[in-house]
Amino acid sequence: MTTSEQQAREEELVARVLASFDGTADQRLRAIMRSLVTHLHGFLRDVRPTEAEWRAGIDFLTAVGHMTDERRQEFILLSDTLGASMQTIAINNEAYADATEATVVGPFFTEDSPHVAPGGDIAGGASGEPCLVEGTVRDTSGAPVPGARLEVWEADADGFYDVQYDDDRTAARAHLFSDDDGGFRFWAVTPTPYPIPHDGPVGRMLAATGRSPMRASHLHFLVSAAGLRTLVTHIFVRGDELLATDSVFGVKESLVKDFARQPPGTPPPDGRDLAGASWSRVRFDIVLAPARTGGPHVPPPRE
């Protein structure tokens, strides 16, 4: 219990720090700084850290900075593992009719992926069980969206993205376009679980708190079309035991799909020769919101 004199001192400090932003010309920046200070001091007054604990927190953030370079963004990983990335995505991808839900982009998207024709294979030599992915792109009125660009990428069966290898391979990533009916079909590999990079301070935070670095198995999509809100999302594998503990809180029930296992020797619909191997098949029907529905909802003026 703090005494009233103690409380008064703590509150007086908060008020003085808040007032220091009174002269901020940019009103948005002023609001952000005031809110940050309010919540930061609320956190400190709640936790009441020792000075050694506060220093340990600063050392942790310093280590996150030192871990960060052009290839590794440890601050984004921290944001991801604290759910801050998913919260920002929820705020900025407002629920709209039956538009498909968004989730984290992750660190392994690259520009300039190869193009594959309809029905093509994005695996590019990546290890894994073949997986046939089919679906449509529609808008929220139900109209097909032809010519939508779909970027797709995923880890291989060993849990690694192509960019995590020391060679220059491009594998398990590509882009393709929806057809005149908004349909798409491509071959990929059946997603398997893998850990987020956990050899740095974020990994130490997860270990210290008894959390797993594992991500639920998933296939990434980035879908864009003129006049429609760009969608960054994944699909997840129903039955995956990691769905409830995904390390970056990326799982949404609406994105969990049935990857129907096809026993060895089952002929695929396009006649592809799979040399008797098993394969899987999944359907993902994508609904894109109108582009204007990006940020905070502004109700239309009344007629």
Contact call for residues 80 and 104 (beta carbons, < 8 A): yes
Please state the separation of Cα 174 from the chain's center in Å.
18
Question: In the stretch 199-218, what mask flags binding to ligand BEZ with x, by CB under 6 A?
Answer: ----------------x---
Query: How many Å apart are CA 123 and CA 169, to the nearest integer?
Result: 11
Closest separation between CB of residue 209 and ligand BEZ, Å?
17
107 binds, among Fe ion, ligand BEZ, none (CB under 5 to 8 A by kind): ligand BEZ
Q: Tell me which of 67, 102, 106, 286 binds Fe ion, using CB under 5 A.
A: 106
Contact call for residues 152 and 173 (beta carbons, < 8 A): yes
248 binds, among ligand BEZ, Fe ion, none (CB under 5 to 8 A by kind): ligand BEZ
Query: How many Å apart are CA 171 and CA 124, to the nearest integer?
Result: 5
Query: How many Å apart are CA 110 and CA 117, to the nearest integer?
Result: 19
By CB under 6 A, the residues from 70 to 129 that bind ligand BEZ are: 77, 80, 104, 106-108
Dihedral sign computed on CA atoms, order 10, 15, 18, 20: negative
Of 290, 301, 295, the C-alpha closest to 139 is 290
Q: Tell me which of 122, 231, 237, 248 binds ligand BEZ, using CB under 6 A.
A: 248
If one asks whether residue 152 binds ligand BEZ (CB under 6 A), the answer comes out as: no
- 177's tokens: 């376009």
Closest separation between CB of residue 236 and ligand BEZ, Å?
11
If one asks whether residue 154 binds ligand BEZ (CB under 6 A), the answer comes out as: no
DSSP string, 157-172: TTS--GGGSSS----S
Closest separation between CB of residue 108 and ligand BEZ, Å?
5
If one asks whether residue 213 binds Fe ion (CB under 5 A), the answer comes out as: no
Please name the residue that has the structure tokens 């850990």: 195
Closer of 106 and 135 to Fe ion (Cβ): 106
> Hey, which residues does 184 pair with through a beta bridge?
135
Q: Closest residue to ligand BEZ, Cβ-based?
A: 106
Please provide residue 241's backbone torsions phi and psi, each rounded to the nearest 5 degrees: -70, -10
Closest separation between CB of residue 77 and ligand BEZ, Å?
6
If one asks whether residue 246 binds ligand BEZ (CB under 6 A), the answer comes out as: no
Residues that bind Fe ion in the complex, under the rule CB under 5 A: 106
Residues that bind ligand BEZ in the complex, under the rule CB under 6 A: 77, 80, 104, 106-108, 196, 215, 248
